[in-house]
Amino acid sequence: MKDPRMFSVLAIFAAILAGACGGSSSEPPTPEPRTPELPDEWTLIRPGGETICSRGTEYAYAVRGGTVNKVVIDFMGGGACWDELTCSVADAIFNPEVNPEALLREGRQGIYDRDNPENPFKDWYHVFIPYCTGDIHWGNNVETYGEGEDAFEVHHKGAVNSQAVMDWVYENFEKPERIFITGCSAGAYGSIGWAPYLMEHYQNSEIVQVGDCGAGVITSSFFKDSFPSWNAFAQSPAFIPGLNPDNVDLTSIDLSYFYGQVGSYFPEAKVGQYNSKYDNNQTFFYSAMGGQGGATAWSESMTANIESAHQQAENFQSYIASGDQHCIIVSDNFYNVQENGIRLVDWFGDLAEGKDVDPRVSCIGEACDRPTGAPEE
């Protein structure tokens, strides 16, 4: 009788030889890229360290779980300040602190409405970056305004706060399939300012940036007046030669140039803007900077800026809606706006998913008329 142990030994040798000769073998499955374990509700993160709000109060941000390996990174808006007058009227012209309770509040509209089946981002992770420094998320300075007993300090530390959030994103998302970077108003500038860093870090992810109502219409002296107070050039992505302060006088550029440089350096990504034709808030800040001509002058400059960005970067996209509404991504109107048969929600969603869209959507004809009540001066 043959020894059954001999059959066991022979079977083992046969399996080894089969593997060595290229026979079938089971390989461990490739693990899914790392994503954070987060609930389907807002979670508050207090990063501490050097993060701070304009008046010295604590900074915090909020994150929310998703069911797909895709993430929205949204920079909050909230005005700006750049001199003694504008920085002294906190709450009136910019947000000076973070409200933690508001960050955890449900019921946000627009891209945050997870109960709306039309929301293209309802299953995505969300990272919400609050704004409390008056420097469009770009600053790294403590500036003293006024003199004597009237002197006061403002912590323009938007870049420090945003970097803390970026560090959390880098640590918790290994390789997102898609990243959608956006922001309303001042947050629109934060979105294009920080997009290059995300694009550089996640070179194997599909990345789209769309600023919401931040067209960069400013007076000729605004950068020279505001950027020294903010020390904003410290945040500039110097690895892009055209945005390196050692190569270029950044006080002489406009936002279309910034978009052009980012878009050209990352041709596989998409960059873009949404604006309304006569945005009431952007007109207000343009006038506060000393700009003349009201809504009509602002609108003409906005259109010129958009055209300039298109000329500089083939991957630039734009959507200009009728009316004067400021900010759309946090509004229910996100689902209602339509120009030339193209719904805004579909345009955003297709861009986010890497589909081709009309790169130049704009109101035409009477739909572009200045709304009644839009300020002329």
Give me the pLDDT at residue 303, please. Answer: 96
Please give the residue that has the higher pLDDT: either 223 or 291.
Answer: 291
pLDDT digits (tens, 9 = 90+) for 11-24: 444 444 444 444 44
Task: Give the Cβ contact number of residue 192 at 10 Å.
Answer: 26
Give me the pLDDT at residue 27, please. Answer: 66
Give me the pLDDT at residue 377, please. Answer: 53
Pairwise CA distance, residues 209 & 352, whole Å: 9
- Over residues 304-320, mean pLDDT: 97
Task: Give the Cβ contact number of residue 206 at 10 Å.
Answer: 17
Task: Give the Cβ contact number of residue 375 at 10 Å.
Answer: 16
CB 250 within 8 A of CB 231: no
Dihedral angle over CA of 89, 90, 92, 95, nearest 10: 160
Share of the chain above pLDDT 90, in %: 72
Pairwise CA distance, residues 126 & 253, whole Å: 32
Domain 33-368 has CATH 3.40.50.1820: yes
Give residues with Cβ within 8 angstroms of 265, minimum separation 6: 196, 240, 242
Pairwise CA distance, residues 155 & 55, whole Å: 6
Could you tell me which of 193, 128, 159 has the C-alpha nearest to residue 51?
A: 159
Pairwise CA distance, residues 160 & 54, whole Å: 12
Pairwise CA distance, residues 360 & 201, whole Å: 29
Taking each helix axis from N to C terminus, what angle separates 158-172 and 186-201, rounded to the nearest 10 degrees? Answer: 40
Whether the predicted pLDDT of 117 surpasses 50? yes
Within 13 Å and on the Cβ side, how many CA atoms surround 81?
A: 29
pLDDT digits (tens, 9 = 90+) for 272-287: 999 999 999 999 989 8
Give residues with Cβ within 8 angstroms of 282, minimum separation 6: 185, 213, 214, 215, 217, 275, 298, 302, 326
Pairwise CA distance, residues 149 & 168, whole Å: 40
Q: Which tokens sit at 15?
A: 């399996």
Could you tell me which of 321, 109, 326 has the C-alpha nearest to residue 214?
A: 326
Highest mean pLDDT among 31-40, 63-72, 143-152: 63-72
